[in-house]
């Protein structure tokens, strides 16, 4: 069994966290990942309180370890989302993208670990000095929102050298090979979104699955134009990575025009990272977690080759 700070601290058998993915990672996916030995997180965006509580009801059974991920900029006007999250008694709470610092103490006092995602070494230093329990070094190849300033490997190397808190690696980790690489580098585990996107238990609708399966590694784009078109209130410093479409091919970089003309994507927006090229079919989350566990053998093989 692969043992790290993360597995020891939370009683996991595989050092993999299923990232919070609003609208995709609900209670069923989180429960399936946790039951398979990883840690499943419920992703919370701007949903109504009842919708979030319904997702927690699918995963919180008193015994099972699970986590939750919230958006800091949403909490600024929806603070009740943190209240209902802590009522569900998660073992780990991630708050990212915006003013997350003000919530650190409250989350830790609830008994949960506090995590946040960082996209540069400077952000990692700041987060480590703000009392977070675990940092997520999230490279620009990752799916959904974040920064696209540094790719996962250079970011992870810089962050591991810069801070003393445990670090999880995120962005483009889709198979046991990726997990083995970041564990060998010194990460306490991987924080994985895209690889769980098309799981049987995910909330992604069929049209999103079709887009994901058709996409190759080069078919994603990091852009702010999709939020401009949706009228989403994401701070513009955070773009999102999604599967390219006719809409992004036409409008990427033209956010003001999109706002002025009201241009809208005609097809489903599928947020996904560069690892989308590795997805070919809907699989149970337990299979995906079991696949990641093969990192142990890869690391053993690598060790036996070194002399």
Q: Which residues bind ligand FMN (CB under 6 A)?
A: 19-22, 24, 43, 45, 69, 71, 94, 96, 117, 138, 142-146, 170-173, 191-195, 197, 271-273, 275
Nearest distance, CB of residue 224 and ligand FMN, angstroms: 15
Q: Which residue has the tokens 């799916």?
A: 143
| Distance, first Cα to last Cα, the chain | 23
Q: Measured on CA atoms in the order 254, 259, 264, 269, is the torsion positive or negative?
A: positive
Residue 249 to residue 81: CA distance in whole angstroms: 35
Nearer to ligand FMN, 157 or 261 (CB): 157
Nearest distance, CB of residue 141 and ligand FMN, angstroms: 6
Nearer to ligand FMN, 189 or 303 (CB): 189
Nearer to ligand FMN, 82 or 195 (CB): 195
Q: CB-based burial of residue 307 (10 Å sphere; 0-12 exposed, 13-18 middle, 19+ buried)?
A: exposed
Residue 195 to residue 245: CA distance in whole angstroms: 20
Nearer to ligand FMN, 22 or 92 (CB): 22
Question: Rounded to an integer, what is the distance from CA 228 to the centroid of its chain?
Answer: 22
Nearest distance, CB of residue 285 and ligand FMN, angstroms: 14
Nearest distance, CB of residue 62 and ligand FMN, angstroms: 25
Tokens, residue 71: 């958006």
- Residue with the shortest CB distance to ligand FMN: 193
Nearest distance, CB of residue 40 and ligand FMN, angstroms: 13
């Amino acid at each position: 069994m692969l043992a790290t700070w993360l597995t020891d601290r939370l009683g996991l058998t595989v050092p993999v966290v299923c990232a919070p993915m609003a609208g995709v990672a609900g209670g069923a996916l989180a429960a399936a990942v946790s039951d398979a030995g990883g840690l499943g997180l419920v992703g919370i965006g701007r949903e109504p309180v009842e919708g979030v509580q319904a997702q927690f009801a699918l995963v919180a059974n008193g015994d099972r370890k699970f986590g939750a991920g919230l958006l800091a900029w949403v909490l600024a006007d929806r603070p009740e989302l943190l209240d209902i999250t802590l009522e569900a008694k998660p073992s780990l709470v991630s708050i990212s993208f915006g003013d997350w610092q003000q919530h650190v103490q409250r989350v830790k006092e609830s008994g949960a670990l506090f995590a946040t995602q960082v996209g540069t070494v400077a952000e990692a230093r700041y987060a480590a000095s703000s009392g977070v329990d675990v940092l997520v070094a999230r490279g620009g190849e990752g799916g959904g929102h974040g920064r696209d300033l540094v790719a996962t490997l250079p970011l992870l190397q810089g962050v591991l050298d810069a801070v003393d808190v445990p670090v999880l690696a995120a962005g483009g980790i889709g198979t046991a090979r990726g997990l083995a690489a970041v564990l060998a580098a010194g990460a306490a585990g991987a924080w994985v979104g895209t690889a769980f996107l098309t799981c049987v238990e995910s909330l992604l609708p069929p049209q999103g699955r079709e887009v994901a399966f058709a996409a190759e590694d080069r078919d994603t784009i990091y852009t702010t134009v999709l939020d401009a078109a949706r009228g989403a209130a994401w701070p513009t410093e955070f773009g999102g990575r999604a599967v390219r479409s006719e809409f992004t091919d036409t409008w990427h970089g033209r956010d003001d025009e999109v706002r002025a003309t009201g241009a809208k994507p005609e097809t489903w927006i599928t947020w996904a990272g560069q690892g989308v090229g590795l997805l070919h079919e809907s699989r149970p989350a337990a299979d995906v977690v079991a696949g990641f566990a093969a990192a142990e053998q890869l690391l053993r093989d690598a060790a036996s080759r070194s002399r």
